[in-house]
Amino acid sequence: MLNKKAVLITGGTGSFGKKFIETILIRYPNVKKIIIYSRDELKQSIIKQKYPSYDYPQLRFFIGDVRDKDRLTQACEGVDVIIHAAAIKQVDTAEYNPTECIRTNIDGAENVIHAALACGVKDVVALSTDKACAPINLYGATKLVSDKLFAAANNIRGSKDIKFSVVRYGNVMGSRGSVIPFFLEKRKDGELPVTHKEMTRFNISLQDGVNLVMYALGHHLGGEIFVPKIPSYKITDVAEAVAPKCKIRYVGVRPGEKLHEEMITDTDSLHTIDLGRYYAILPSVSYNYSEEEYLVHHNAKMVPFGFKYSSDSNTDWETIEGLRQLIVEHVDSSFKV
């Protein structure tokens, strides 16, 4: 799928980008080019050390910001596939710096779309978040707008052979700023700050997130929001898994934070199809394909009326022991209770 293709990853020095690069190099050794586009020179230099040019000549490093349309367009010359992972992601940071979040997450998304259209890119997949579903914080709201922009981009492609779609998933186990690395660090203090005893979240590994993007690249018609079927966990179970001997201090829900996350609302379900391993929310406005054409293409079926996909009503749950095994596998191989 990606052999002899040029791939650009915005935000390519982040947790997802690094795992995506690793996966491409393993699965598609004949990839033509991997362009890592980000504004962090230090993180790019660290990746360069891991993948030196004499062994990995297909890697390219572009310093640039998705806010900079001209630089982004320059980087997209000759590119076949764009994975858009760049974003301001921290909920509290977005609440305090709303204009900066809008410029990156919304204006940046629009720049990616226009650069892709201008440069003859064939496939674009944008990363979203469960917080974009019925958002209550600015980060989620900007990602919802971004999702809508990418879905609608399929309606302005004209005769261009290009497809835009989105992947949406929950908390990535072990990613920077996520709860498990935070708890691993805080257990040294003998006390874990927990927001609320009823809080739940979806859980996905970095590799499963990458696999979802690969699936979207290989199967999208354009306009879909792909959603994985993944387990939930209770925040108290994560605390018990990481540090059962630590005292728990309940500190309250932070501004802009939900008790439970959703990925598909009951209203979204009217346009949601079941693909087996994944769900896909179809675009509400599409001038390219009908609902029936999406169903046939994906060999899918509609979800039941009134269906919704929420972390608290999920049927698949992580156990405490299962979480410990996942921590060893995906976060810290030396982890012990």
- Report pLDDT for 337: 86
Residues β-bridged to residue 309 = 264
186 annotated active-site:
no
Q: Are strands 59-63 and 225-228 parallel, antiparallel or unpaired?
A: unpaired
Q: What is the mean pLDDT of residues 135-149?
A: 97
Cα separation, 192 vs 31, whole angstroms: 44
- What are the tens digits of pLDDT across the range 147-189? 999 999 999 999 999 999 999 998 898 787 789 999 999 999 9
Q: What is the mean pLDDT of residues 135-143?
A: 96
Domains and CATH numbers, the chain: 6-330 (3.40.50.720)
The full DSSP string for 276-329 is SSEEEEPPSS-SS--HHHHHHHHT-EEPPTT--EETTT-S-B--HHHHHHHHHH
3-state secondary structure of 110: helix
Q: What is the mean pLDDT of residues 5-14?
A: 97
H-only helix segments in 138-261: 138-153, 179-186, 206-219, 235-242
Q: Are strands 200-204 and 309-310 parallel, antiparallel or unpaired?
A: unpaired
Provide the angle, in degrees to the nearest 10, between the axes of the packed helices 320-330 and 235-242. 70
**Residue type (1 letter), 68:** D
Cβ atoms < 10 Å from Cβ of 257:
17
- What are the tens digits of pLDDT across the range 77-88? 999 999 999 999
Cα separation, 67 vs 64, whole angstroms: 8
> Comparing 75 with 175, which gets the higher pLDDT?
75
Q: Which of 18, 89, 131, 143 is catalytic?
A: 131
Q: What is the mean pLDDT of residues 223-245?
A: 96
pTM for this structure?
Answer: 0.94
Cβ atoms < 10 Å from Cβ of 188:
9
Reported confidence tier of residue 38, pLDDT bands at 50, 70, 90: very high
Counting runs of H as helices and runs of E as strands, what totals does the chain give? 12, 17
- Report pLDDT for 313: 95
Angle in degrees, CA 149, 298, 288, rounded to 5? 45
What is the residue-averaged pLDDT of the chain?
Answer: 95
- Report pLDDT for 257: 87
DSSP label at residue 28: -
- Report pLDDT for 128: 97
Reported confidence tier of residue 245, pLDDT bands at 50, 70, 90: very high
Contact between 170 and 311 under an 8 Å Cβ cutoff? The reply is yes
Cα separation, 92 vs 112, whole angstroms: 25
Cα separation, 112 vs 116, whole angstroms: 6
- pLDDT at 74 exceeding the cut of 90: yes
- What are the tens digits of pLDDT across the range 280-315? 999 988 888 999 999 999 999 999 999 999 999 999
- pLDDT at 100 exceeding the cut of 90: yes
> Comparing 284 with 231, which gets the higher pLDDT?
231
- What are the tens digits of pLDDT across the range 255-269? 888 999 999 999 999
